Amino acid sequence: MIATRPALHDIEEFLQRKRFAAIGVSRNPKDFSRRLFAEFRRRGYDVVPVNPNATEIDDVTCFARVQDIQPPVDAALFLTSPQVSGEIADDCAHAGIRQVWMYRATGDGAISLRAVVACQLNGIGVIAGECPFMFLEGAGFAHGFHRFCKKLTGSFPR
C-alpha cells in the first residue's frame, strides 16, 4: 500500500470541477462504482463513464478509453484495480488530463506506485486515496461517520 494523505485543497479543487471521467465504472448496477457514479450525476456533475466493455452506463454514453471522450475532459476519477491504474495514468497523460483522483476505501483501491509516478512525471495532479463520498455533504450516515473517525484519528486530509 502506498502511504499518502491527499491535501484537502486538491480534493476541493477536484470536486469544483463539474465534468470529469469516471474510469472503471462497472457494468454491474449493484457495484459501488455505480452508486458513486449515480451520486455525482444526481448532484449535477457531468460524469463521463469509461469502460472498454460497455457502450452505455445508466443511459450515458460510455467510452472505451479516456482519450476517446469528446469533448475532452481534464480530470478523471480512477475506479480501477491498481493492476491497470498505471496504464490508465498513461492514457490520461495522452488525453491531456490535469488532475486524477485514485479512489480508495480499503486496501490499495485504485492506487499503484506506477500510476502515481506516471502522473507526477506528466504534470498531472494526483489525489492518491480517499473515497469521494466522504467529501460530499449529506452523503449518508456511514460516510459522515467515516469522515468523523478520520478526523478523530488525525488521518483526514488537511
Lowest mean pLDDT among 51-60, 84-93, 145-154: 145-154
DSSP-assigned beta bridge partners for residue 77: 22, 101
- The Cα–Cα gap between 129 and 116 comes to 11
Flag whether 145 is in a domain: yes
Q: When comparing pLDDT for 136 and 117, which is higher?
A: 117
Pair 45, 20: CB distance under 8 Å: yes
Q: Is residue 47 part of a domain?
A: yes
Q: Which range, of 7-16, 44-53, 125-134, averages the lowest pLDDT?
A: 125-134
Inside any domain, residue 144: yes
Looking at the structure of the chain, the number of domains it has is: 1
| Nine-digit cell string for 14 | 477536484
Give the mean model confidence (pLDDT) for residues 30-39: 93
* Bridge partners, 63 (sequence order): 50
Q: Which domain holds residue 17?
A: 8-153
Question: Before 82, cis peptide (omega within 30)?
Answer: no
Q: With respect to residue 37, please indicate whether it lies within any of the assigned structural domains.
A: yes
Report whether 62 contacts 51 (CB < 8 A).
yes
On the CB side of 103, how many CA atoms lie within 13 Å of its CA? 20
pTM, to two decimals: 0.89
Residue 1 belongs to a domain: no
Helix (H/G/I), strand (E/B), else coil: 126: strand
pLDDT of residue 3: 46
Section 49-58 average pLDDT:
97
Average pLDDT, the chain: 88
Q: What is the CATH number of the domain that holds 100?
A: 3.40.50.720
Instruction: Determine, yes or no, domain membership for 91.
Output: yes
Any idea which of 47-56, 60-69, 146-155 has the lowest mean pLDDT?
Answer: 146-155
**For residues 135 and 145, is the Cβ–Cβ distance under 8 A?**
no
pLDDT of residue 15: 94
Does a structural domain hold residue 158? no
Q: Give a yes or no: residue 2 inside a domain.
A: no
Residue 78 in contact with residue 131, Cβ under 8 Å?
A: no
Most confidently modeled of 5-9, 20-24, 33-37, 109-113?
A: 20-24
- Which residues does 145 contact at the CB level (< 8 Å), separation at least 6? none
